[in-house]
Amino acid sequence: MQWMTRWGRQVIEMRRLAILCVALLFLGGCEQRKEPCTATFFAMDTVMEITVYGDRSLLAQAEEIVGDMERRLSVTDDGSEIAALNRGGSGSISGDTEELLIQALDLCERSGGALDISIYPLVRAWGFTTGEYRVPKMEELTRLLTVVDYRKVRLGKGEAVLPSGMEIDMGGVAKGWAGDQILDAFRKNGVKSALLNLGGNVQALGAKPDGSPWRVAVRSPSGEGYVGAVEIIDKAVITSGGYQRFFEKDGKAYHHIIDPATGGPVDNGMLSVTVVGDKGVVCDGLSTALFVMGQERAVAFWRGCGDFEAVFITEEGIFITEGLKDAFVLLDGCGDWDVTVLYHD
Ligand code: AMP
Ligand code: MG
C-alpha cells in the first residue's frame, strides 16, 4: 500500500464510508424510517409478539431472553432450575432466577398469600400442567394444601431449599418478569419506543414514535372481543382472567387460577383483573393475586397501595380505579357494561 498517494487513500476511505452508510440504511431500515419491526413466536406456552422501533437484531435478542428464561423456569422441562428444585427439594439457582424468586416471594407476602408460588401441586392436580384435566376430590385438595406455604421457601447464596413435598411454579409472574428483562435490554440499546404482547400481557416502552399513548384493549371476560381500552405510556397492562385457561366438566367451568384457601379454582364473582403499573413482574403477580382476593379485598388492597391502577370486571360490571379515569375508554359495540370509578376516599 506504500505506493498509494494520500489522495488515493482518501478516495478509498470515502468509498468505504459510502458503502457503510448504504448498508446501515438497509440493515437498520426500520430505525431510520421509524417503522416498526415485529417478531411473533411461541414461548412460555403462549404466542408472543414483539414490536420495536429500532434495530431489527434486537428482536432476536428478545427471543433469546425469553427462551433462556423458559429453559430455567419451566416446571415441565426436566432440565430447568425450577424442575430440579421441585424434584430434589433443594438446588442451586442462577442470579436471575434468585432475583425473580425474591420478587415473587415479596409479592406473595404483600398479597397476604393470595399469590402463592407453592400452589403448584394443586395446579398439577387439576391437570393444568399437562392438559389432562380432572376434578380432584376434596380429600386430595386438603392433603395437597398442607404443603402450600410460600413462607417456607428458603433462599440464599445461590441455593433454594423447599420443605418436603413442596413444589413451586412461577407461572403467575414469569411473563411479566420476561417483559421487564426484554424492555431493559431495549432501553440499554437506546430504544425509545417498543410494545410487547406476551400472550395478552402488554408492556410498553415509552410512547408511540409520534409521542401519543399506546391504546391497549381489555378483553371481554367471555374471551370474545374487547370491552374497553386503556391509554398508556411506558407501562405494563397485565390481565388475569378465568377465561384464559379453563376446562368444562358436567356443565361446570374450572379455570387455572387456584385459591390457596380452598385448593380449587377461584370462585368469587371476579371475571378478570387488569393491573396497570410500571413493572411487569409486579403487575403480573398482582393481577393474579387480586383475582384471588375478590372485589372487596382487592379494592381495599388497592387503596392501601400507590404503585398500580386496576380494571376489575365482575358479574356486577366494570370498576376502574381513580388513576385510570381519563385513560380508560369503553369500546363501541362492546355491550352494556356499567363503568364505576373507584376512589382512594
Ligand atoms: P396468571 O395468568 O398470571 O394469572 O397466572 C396464572 C398461573 O399462575 C396459573 O396457570 C398457575 O400456573 C399459577 N397460579 C394459579 N393460581 C395461583 C396462585 N394463587 N398463586 C400463584 N400462582 C398461581
Ligand atoms: Mg399473573
Residue 276's closest CA among 176, 191, 194, 183?
176
Pick from 151, 246, 256 the residue to mutate for probing ligand 1's pocket: most ligand atoms within 8 Å of its CB: 256
62-66, 75-79, 145-149, 334-338: the lowest-pLDDT one: 334-338
Mean pLDDT for the stretch of residues 328-342: 86
pLDDT in tens, 11-34: 445 455 444 433 433 344 454 446
- Rounded to whole angstroms, how far apart are CA atoms 281 and 133? 28
State if residue 289 touches ligand 1 by the CB under 6 angstroms criterion: no
| Strands lying side by side in the sheet with 328-330 | 214-219, 226-232, 328-330
Mean pLDDT for the stretch of residues 308-337: 91
For residue 134, pLDDT over 90 is answered with: yes
State if residue 272 touches ligand 1 by the CB under 6 angstroms criterion: no
CA of 238, closest atom in ligand 1: 3
For residue 3, pLDDT over 80 is answered with: no
- Rounded to whole angstroms, how far apart are CA atoms 130 and 45? 11
State if residue 123 touches ligand 1 by the CB under 6 angstroms criterion: yes
Kindly report the average pLDDT of the chain as a whole number: 91
Mean pLDDT for the stretch of residues 132-159: 97
Q: How confident is the model at residue 19, as a pLDDT? A: 44
Residue nearest atom 6 in ligand 1 by C-alpha distance: 172
Q: How confident is the model at residue 2, as a pLDDT? A: 36
For residue 5, pLDDT over 50 is answered with: no
pLDDT in tens, 242-273: 988 999 999 999 999 999 999 999 999 999 99
Phi, psi of 100 (to 5 degrees): -65, -45
pLDDT in tens, 269-302: 999 999 999 999 999 999 999 999 999 999 999 9
Question: pTM higher than 0.95 for the full model?
Answer: no
State if residue 181 touches ligand 1 by the CB under 6 angstroms criterion: no
Ligand 2 mean position to 235 CA, how many Å?
16
In the structure grid, which three cell numbers stand for residue 29, read together?
Answer: 431500515
Mean pLDDT for the stretch of residues 190-209: 96
pLDDT in tens, 45-57: 899 999 999 899 9
Q: How confident is the model at residue 35, as a pLDDT? A: 85
Q: How confident is the model at residue 223, as a pLDDT? A: 80
Q: How confident is the model at residue 345, as a pLDDT? A: 80
What is the enclosing helix (H) or strand (E) of 2?
none
Residue 226's closest CA among 311, 319, 316, 334?
334
Torsion of CA 12, 13, 17, 23, to 10 degrees: 50
- Express the helix, strand and coil content of the chain in percent, nearest 5 each: 35, 25, 35
If 0-12 CB within 10 Å is exposed, 13-18 middle and 19+ buried, where does residue 212 land? exposed
